[in-house]
Structure 1
Amino acid sequence: MPMPPPPLTASRVSDVVAEALERRILDGTFPPGTRLPAERALALELGVSRTSLRQAIQTLVARHLLSTRHGGGHYVTDSLEAPFVNPWQEMLEGHPSLQVDMLEFRDMLDSRSAALAAERATPADLDRLDHAFAAMERAYEEDDLSRTIVTDVAFHQEIADCAHNVVIRQLTAGLMRVIHKHVSRNLSHLHQRPARWSLLRGQHRAIWQAIHEHDPAKAAAAARAHITFVQDSMAESARDEEYRLGVLRHKRMGTP
């Protein structure tokens, strides 16, 4: 007759709780910057004592996944993203040619993310995706450029969340932070061109619709077409900027 498993000690309970909290951080239930629920409520939800919960929180604080603010609770850090984001942001600023490589990587990531989202999205996932899409549509309708930039990033992150792949989710979050300035610059460029601005809006709708139809191939193709459009737009923006700087140089030199 098999021996029953040994009872969980207080330290083992805290380890189990730490793993449960870590899973929620990884899967985006608690994204960076999120404040954890109050200890009493969270302990009740997890079915453990507040002592075990506090030990688990201290474990994650020691691993830099959580930070504690005096009198203000416990917050999820960006430690999973920062090691990827910080050096790449600096290199992208110093070497603009890296944008092409970043977009090639984003092409792979976004197309696979959209395909998995179409395959795996649950009704709850689709509700969140609909909310993100609706917020972006409102920004387009109101011609609010700054809000469009924010909701565009949020929409793509929601697609990554729908893929139910922790690595894709984290890489997408990090990548969008790395290229945020370039996304803003590109959207500002497109905003001045109504016909292309309308095309961009339609591309987002095509991705959203393909995921709703649970059609992975169609979702991947729509995402890939979107990134190709972005690549072309960024190249056009760079040419326009080069021309503008050339005109300024000629004016300073007094040449016609």
Structure 2
Amino acid sequence: MPQRPAVPRLSDIVANDLEKRILEGSLKPGDRLGSERDLALELGVSRPSLRAAIQKLVDKVLTTRHGGGTHVTDRLEAHFVDPWQQMLSGHPALQRDLLEFRQMLESQAASLAAERATEADLARLDAAYAELETMYADGDLDSCIGIDAAFHQVIAEAAHNALIGHLSASLMKVLHSDVARNLEHLHAQPPRWDCLQAQHRAIWLAIRERKPEAAAQAARQHIEFVRKSMAENAQEDERRGSALRRLGEPGA
């Protein structure tokens, strides 16, 4: 007699649903799950089934803290970010390769977002771009890196590809300090700061207007601009250090 297919347990179904939310970015590293009561009601399951599902995911994508609830871990990102940050600090030339990868990733993300973004995605994109516009108008450099990263992450998530979403978040963490220095450098040069604003606007409009090729091209041009700017920053730092060393300045 042929065997009947095994009926999945309710806890497995719930665990799969929670994993899906983490993969798609609905739940992000550091996010705390709702209370057991509320989450069980939302998912339409009993609290014992929910507890069993959470236990399956502990040490995989969730972590529990005594008295602090259940949180999404950064395990998916940490295994990528930590070693690459260490490598980058010891091998600065690696930055070129990371930016080249970022260019491929973000151009593809922008193209897919122009094709796949839902109305909810576009609403998030509009909100992220509005924050960018406010930043440019106010010249608020302190919040610049976070707002810039958030804009690009919204695009990555609008591509509806789990790997693109998670790799994008990880890559921005690896390059965080370099991007922060570059933004500070550009902020001190109004014409180039205006170019950066125009590039973000071009990406936003191309996705909004559902133009995949234009979105990909705008993203490629943006990262190329960032790459050249970072290279110029490195040259300027080297010249400045060389000049100070000739003057015998301590710490140069």
Q: TM-score, normalised by structure 2?
A: 0.95
Q: Deviations over 1:69-101 (max 9, x none)?
A: 111211000000111000000010111000100
Instruction: Give the number of aligned pairs.
Output: 248
- Following TM superposition, by how much is the alpha carbon of 1:19 offset from its aligned partner in structure 2, in angstroms? 0.6
Residue ranges of structure 1 left out of the alignment (5+ in a row): none
Matched, 1:121 2:117: yes
Q: What amino acid is aligned across from residue 13 of structure 2 in structure 1? A: V
Equivalent residue for 1:188, pick from 153, 173, 184? 184
Percent identical pairs in the alignment equals 59
User: Residue 128 of structure 2 corresponds to which residue in structure 1?
Assistant: 132
- CA deviations on 1:98-139 (whole Å, 9 max, x unpaired) are 010011101100100000000000000000111111111111
Q: Secondary structure at the match of 1:33?
A: coil
**Residue 238 to residue 79, structure 1, CA distance change in 2 (3 Å):** same
CA distance in 2, matches of 1:25, 1:251: 54
Q: Distance in 1 between matches of 2:27 and 2:134?
A: 26
Q: Does 1:100 align with 2:119?
A: no
The aligned counterpart of 1:218 is 214
Specify the alignment match of 1:251 in structure 2.
247
Cross-structure match for 1:20: 17
Q: Deviations over 1:199-225 (max 9, x none)?
A: 001100100000000100000000001
User: Is 1:37 aligned to residue 34 of structure 2?
Assistant: yes
Deviation at 1:62, TM superposition (A): 3.5
Distance 1:149 1:6, change over 3 A: closer
Q: Can you give the 5+ residue segments of structure 2 that lack an aligned partner in the other structure? A: none
Equivalent in 47, 54, 63 of residue 51 of structure 2: 54
1:177 corresponds in structure 2 to 173
**Distance in 1 separating the partners of 2:149 and 2:135:** 13
Among 63, 71, 76, the alignment partner of 1:67 is 63
- What is the CA RMSD across the aligned residues, in angstroms? 1.6
- Pick the aligned partner of 2:230 from 224, 229, 234: 234
